[in-house]
Amino acid sequence: MSEPVVLITGGARRIGAATARGLHAKGWRVIVHYRSSSRAAEQLIGELNQQRANSARALAADLTQLDDVGSLAHAAINEWGQLDALINNASTFYPTPIGSATEQQWDDLIGSNLKAPFFLAQHLCEALTKTSGAIINIADIHADRPLSEHSLYCIAKAGNVMLTKSLARELAPGVRVNGVAPGAIMWPEDSAELSDTAKAAIVDKIALKRAGAADDIARTIDFLLNDAPYITGQIIAVDGGRTLSN
């Protein structure tokens, strides 16, 4: 089949959904993974399938469970019999101040941001090699610049950066592997939600003086998949110049 297939973890909402819509518009078939956002996932694939029949699927999995990771990989390949790209987008993010961090938080943050991307890549590397495919990991600018009271998250994303480089070396020349490191793209939700004052302080440190949008990440992913055949092992910061600031 001529249309390439992409698996996007955490693809039902926010950056994942923007990426799914963007790649779908370019002719990709999209597999949207979700953990608990079943309604958002079904609405998204319904929207995409209405635009082009038999072009989107939704698959549920808890990426902190290795059995689920293996099952997701197997199901993704079986959907259309091929896989051309894996986007490791799913992530958990919340503060873990030293003195209060728990083993469960370690397992959750390391599991979603580092462990699951590694094992998904391991399960899917053979299928991706067959299609000369690509892996894109969503890192974070705080992999290099630690964020106060978020040590576990930053550790996980720093590992994600090295995972990208290691996979790029090991899977070459058959599979390209790159990362995208967002800055202030979408404000965190729930327990990690920021006050208006905190948001303003962050924006003030951004060279472009504004937060980004999910489409900024989606367009970078599109570039890496569709227009960058000689790029591998790189981490592209999409941060409006935030990392230029002290």
The answer to the question of residue 200 being in a domain is yes
Model pLDDT, residue 245:
80
Model pLDDT, residue 180:
98
- The tally of domains found in the chain comes to 1
Residue 244 structure tokens: 């230029």
Model pLDDT, residue 118:
98
Residue 178 amino acid letter? N
The answer to the question of residue 185 being in a domain is yes
Q: Of 218, 220, 209, which Cα lies nearest the Cα of 17?
A: 218
Task: Write a three-state SS string for 159-227.
Answer: HHHHHHHHHHHHHCCCCEEEEEEECCCCCCCHHHCCCHHHHHHHHHCCCCCCCCCHHHHHHHHHHHHHC
In this predicted model, what pLDDT tens digit does every residue of 89-110 receive, in sequence order? 999 999 999 999 999 999 999 9
Which CATH number does the domain housing residue 57 bear?
Answer: 3.40.50.720
Distance CA 185, CA 235 (A): 16
At how many degrees (to 10) do helices 214-226 and 14-25 cross? 40
What parts of the chain have a pLDDT lower than 70? 1, 188-193, 246
Give the DSSP H or E segment for 80.
helix 66-80
Domain residue limits at 146:
5-240
Model pLDDT, residue 2:
80
Residues with catalytic annotation? Answer: 153
